[in-house]
Amino acid sequence: MNTFVAGTYGVGKTSLCKQLALSTGLEHYSASSLVQHTGPNKSVINSENNQEILIQKVVDLNRKWKSLILDGHFCIFEGQEIVKISLEVFNKLNINKVIIIQDEPSKIYLRLSKRAGQQFDLKTITKLQQLELERAQNFCEKYCATLLIENMSNIRLETLKNFIINTK
């Protein structure tokens, strides 16, 4: 079973997951690094095709490792449009735990401003955070997964580690 760490672009998922992988001994992968079919500013070119690629890669990885930490999004940009990923995709990714990482939109904005070409206004960041949370809640309710919501400003690595290791 896999843990999915989700949140909007620039919230700090990948950096956090690298620390979690070290502390838990689990392998960590970023969904975008497994797919590698993104356009400018991490926008997605073909979301349905990308999700099929992601599912197959995670299935293959789960043959080697029983549990993984996967970071990514419940909602992505396809061109200029926000696309909600089908909840069935996350079920096929064998997700049984979800960690939503949130932060102040202004802090996310500053992180994104340091990335080449990736800019979202505060309204878009706020909307994305809300959609990520809603989709995570919907997924967990529908597929009986466990949800943990954390704010990057006061995150405790030990809490996340215990959630990943000890939650069924």
Tell me the mean pLDDT per 10 residues along the chain, length 168. Answer: 95 95 96 70 60 93 95 88 93 97 94 76 93 98 97 94 91
| Residues 6+ away with beta carbon under 8 Å from 72 | 4, 5, 6, 13, 30, 31, 32, 54
* 81-84 and 95-102 strand pairing: unpaired
Identify which of 28, 18, 57, 23 has the alpha carbon closest to the alpha carbon of residue 163.
23
Q: Report how far residue 70's alpha carbon sits from residue 62's, in angstroms, rounded to the nearest whole number.
A: 11
Tokens of 58: 């995670």
Q: Report how far residue 128's alpha carbon sits from residue 73's, in angstroms, rounded to the nearest whole number.
A: 10
Predicted confidence at residue 46, as pLDDT, reads 60
Predicted confidence at residue 40, as pLDDT, reads 45
Q: Report how far residue 9's alpha carbon sits from residue 75's, in angstroms, rounded to the nearest whole number.
A: 10
Tokens of 84: 């909600």
